[in-house]
Amino acid sequence: MQPGILTRRGFMMGGAGAATVALTGCSATTAEKERPAVVPVESPALATIYGPVPEEQFPLPAIPYQKISKRFHRQMVSDPTGERPGTLVVDTANYYLYLTYEGAQAMRYGVGLGRQGFEWSGQGVIQYKRQWPRWTPPDEMVARQPELVPYSIANGGMAPGLKNPLGARALYIFKNGEDTLYRIHGSPEWNSIGKSVSSGCVRMINQDVVDLYGRVPDKAPIVVTSLPRLSAV
């Protein structure tokens, strides 16, 4: 990967218009990769991390963390990225998102990624963040899916809430001052973590994206890359 380059394989496969439709939508599709069997984990700490969050604008329900592979649970780990502290790194090979810290440490989160054909890589910045964002599918997507007309740009998009595809928080990725159309965002579909399901965006458990939101400032650098594959433990 060359520094400073952000690529969209979707543009190459179907043209800029088709890719823009899918990417901006950040909608779910059928998972394309089967993940290893989940080993149930019981933990009071995880029960707190992934417990209900009643103080949110839209109270978040508890997440059944026992059904999620333990490697995708939020945790501080040794930093494998080599990036400077304060950098977000999306590892597409292992379905991880890292936030790097001093002392060669990183907070690691499990994520869901774009399905084949909408994978991407490169560098950018988190231009801005939003709590409980609105979702506005582009007109091209609405034309293909008439059931989305109530949520069109003309109609103001989908109001924030637990069913909104962008979840509790969204971080907007820009490159050279331009919107890449990629987002890091929450999702109520916790079972999509560790899978290729979304249309190019990086999706997280809502509790995790709320945690990340509080740690990452605007203009934080982000690198999307593929690190060496790790054992599925």
Q: How many CB atoms lie within 10 A of CB 29?
A: 15
Q: Helix, strand, coil shares of the chain as percentages rounded to 5?
A: 25, 30, 45
Choose, from 8, 185, 195, 203, the residue flagged as catalytic. 185
Choose, from 60, 88, 158, 201, the residue flagged as catalytic. 201
Residue carrying structure tokens 């304060």: 86
Whether the CB-CB separation of 222 and 121 falls below 8 Å is answered with no
Residue carrying structure tokens 């399901």: 197
Respond yes or no: is residue 73 known to be catalytic.
Answer: no
Six-digit token string for 32 = 């394309």
Work out whether the CA dihedral 141, 145, 151, 153 comes out positive or negative: positive
Report the candidate in 184, 180, 218, 4 with the shortest Cα–Cα distance to residue 97: 184
d(CA 85, CA 101): 4
Whether the CB-CB separation of 126 and 172 falls below 8 Å is answered with yes
Distance of CA 83 to the CA centre of its chain: 19
Respond yes or no: is residue 201 known to be catalytic.
Answer: yes
Rg of the chain's alpha carbons, rounded to an integer? 17
Six-digit token string for 185 = 């965002």
Six-digit token string for 29 = 């599709």
Q: What residues are labeled active site? A: 185, 201
